[in-house]
């Protein structure tokens, strides 16, 4: 391993339930890493079990930055993450340590790599038109249109993800330029660093689904439903907030509101988590300069440290 830690950053990415947190903890015990979370739900306080957030004992061993920053009533954006992450990266480097960016929110990794561009603001009339079309034809039909004008975005966006389909189509119809093209024209905020990127995932989808199922059962045993009930009973949160749209929380919220029963909630959470894992892998397969690691293989930390 090189002794030159100057300006070095490690990115540890991967789908849900791949084992990223455990590996990051192991790495932090062996090398002067400081962990920076790359997770859009862990930023919220009180959302611990459903996000598999490191517990107090784990954080005493290896503190995680960019978690427990906000109340669930507050919004948080990819742009704000970029600002916060760059600040934390510089603070870690100033202490002579190495930033270890860990998480599965691929959009956040993307804004660090590709930057942000000034996209057109929302157009109320166009959004109303798209909503009317969706009411008549269904969101999968609009997703098909998106696939024709921006196939890369369509691969990342589920056919029922109304908000992202609407925004991607809106950008294209307003500018004649796809969301993918807009994002590609950004700047790489990590260009001045020596970046090592690793993707942690099981070797096959069945094994990933098994790990997702095991983690969900553990969440239930740890009190996930009680956690969501506390949020639900606060009275100032709604399922329209970004925090409550997180996978698991959205379905549990809908169950508590009477939309469907407990068993259906469990099925929906598992299905949504598997779909999210699929999307994360789609992002990663197109990711440049990334080294893949098997979630079930031994010596993952040793492999990473040998690359530095």
The reported pLDDT for the residue numbered 185 is 61
pTM for the model stands at 0.79
- Nearest-Å Rg of the Cα atoms of the chain is 20
What is the band of 175 on the pLDDT scale with cuts at 50, 70, 90?
confident
Tally DSSP H helices, then E strands, for the chain.
14, 6
Classify residue 95 as exposed, middle or buried by CB count within 10 Å of its CB (0-12, 13-18, 19+).
exposed
Residues contacting 210, CB < 8 A, separation 6+? none
Range of weakest confidence among 13-27, 170-184, 206-220: 170-184
Domain that holds residue 178: 124-184
Report the percent of the chain where pLDDT is more than 90: 72
Q: How far apart are CA 69 and CA 67, in angstroms?
A: 5
Same domain, yes or no: 238 and 104: yes
Same domain, yes or no: 209 and 242: yes
For residue 269, the surrounding DSSP H or E stretch is helix 262-285
Same domain, yes or no: 46 and 101: yes
| Secondary structure class of 286 (helix, strand, coil) | coil
Same domain, yes or no: 286 and 146: no
Same domain, yes or no: 160 and 288: no
Q: Give 175 or 56, the one with higher predicted confidence.
A: 56
CATH of the domain at 142: 1.10.20.140
Same domain, yes or no: 53 and 13: yes
The model's pLDDT over 62-93, given as tens digits with 9 standing for 90+, comes to 999 999 999 999 988 887 888 899 999 999 99
C-beta of residue 243 within 8 angstroms of C-beta of residue 249: yes
Same domain, yes or no: 54 and 146: no
DSSP 59-124: HHHS-EESSS-B-TTS---HHHHHHHHHHHHHHHHHTT-EEEEEES-HHHHHHHHH----PPPP-H
The model's pLDDT over 252-299, given as tens digits with 9 standing for 90+, comes to 999 999 999 999 999 999 999 999 999 999 999 999 899 999 999 989
Domain boundary among 159, 184, 209: 184
Number of domains the chain contains: 2
Domain boundary among 144, 165, 184: 184
Per the domain annotation, does 1 fall within a domain? Answer: no
| CB atoms near residue 45 (< 10 Å) | 15
C-beta of residue 48 within 8 angstroms of C-beta of residue 84: no
C-beta of residue 261 within 8 angstroms of C-beta of residue 255: yes
Q: How far apart are CA 51 and CA 100, in angstroms?
A: 19
C-beta of residue 129 within 8 angstroms of C-beta of residue 38: no
Tokens encoding 274:
């598997």
pLDDT at 3 over 50: no
Per the domain annotation, does 294 fall within a domain? Answer: yes
Report the percent of the chain where pLDDT is more than 70: 95
Per the domain annotation, does 280 fall within a domain? Answer: yes
Residues contacting 66, CB < 8 A, separation 6+? 36, 37, 38, 39, 42, 43, 81, 84, 85, 88
**Positive or negative: CA dihedral 99, 114, 140, 278:** negative
User: How many angstroms separate the most distant Cα atoms in the chain?
Assistant: 62
Place of tokens 């306080």: 45
Average pLDDT, the chain: 91
Per the domain annotation, does 201 fall within a domain? Answer: yes
Same domain, yes or no: 282 and 296: yes
Per the domain annotation, does 2 fall within a domain? Answer: no
Mean pLDDT of 51-59: 93
Same domain, yes or no: 104 and 180: no
Same domain, yes or no: 286 and 217: yes
Place of tokens 């957030």: 53
Same domain, yes or no: 144 and 239: no
Per the domain annotation, does 3 fall within a domain? Answer: no
CATH of the domain at 271: 3.40.50.300
Domain boundary among 135, 159, 184: 184
C-beta of residue 91 within 8 angstroms of C-beta of residue 2: no
The model's pLDDT over 216-254, given as tens digits with 9 standing for 90+, comes to 999 999 999 999 999 999 999 998 888 999 999 999 999
Same domain, yes or no: 83 and 56: yes
């Amino acid at each position: 391993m090189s002794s030159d830690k100057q300006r070095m950053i490690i990115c540890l990415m991967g789908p849900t339930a791949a084992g990223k947190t455990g590996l990051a903890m192991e790495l932090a015990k062996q090398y002067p890493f400081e962990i920076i979370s790359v997770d859009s739900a862990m930023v919220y306080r009180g959302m611990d079990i459903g996000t598999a957030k490191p517990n107090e004992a784990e954080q005493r061993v290896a503190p995680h930055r960019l978690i427990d920053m906000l109340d669930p009533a507050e919004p948080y954006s990819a742009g704000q993450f970029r600002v916060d992450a760059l600040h934390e990266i510089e603070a870690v480097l100033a202490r002579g340590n190495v930033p270890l960016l860990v998480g599965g929110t691929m959009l956040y990794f993307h804004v660090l790599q590709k930057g942000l561009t000034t996209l057109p603001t929302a157009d109320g009339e166009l959004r109303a038109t798209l909503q009317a079309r969706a009411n008549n034809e269904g969101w999968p039909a609009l997703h098909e249109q998106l696939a024709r004008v921006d196939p890369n975005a369509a691969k990342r966006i589920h056919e029922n993800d109304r908000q992202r389909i609407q925004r991607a189509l809106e950008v294209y119809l307003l500018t004649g330029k796809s969301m993918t093209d807009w994002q590609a024209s950004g700047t790489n905020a990590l260009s001045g660093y020596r970046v090592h990127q690793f993707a942690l995932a099981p070797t096959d989808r069945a094994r990933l689904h098994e790990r997702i199922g095991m983690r969900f059962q553990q969440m239930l045993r740890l009190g996930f439903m009680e956690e969501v009930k506390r949020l639900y009973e606060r009275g100032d949160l709604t399922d329209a907030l970004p925090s409550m749209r997180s996978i698991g929380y959205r379905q549990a919220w809908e169950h508590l509101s009477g939309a469907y029963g407990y068993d259906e909630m469990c099925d929906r959470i598992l299905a949504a988590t598997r779909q999210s894992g699929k999307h994360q892998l789609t992002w990663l397969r197109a990711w440049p300069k990334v080294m893949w690691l098997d979630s079930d293989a031994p010596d993952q930390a040793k492999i990473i440290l040998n690359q530095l």
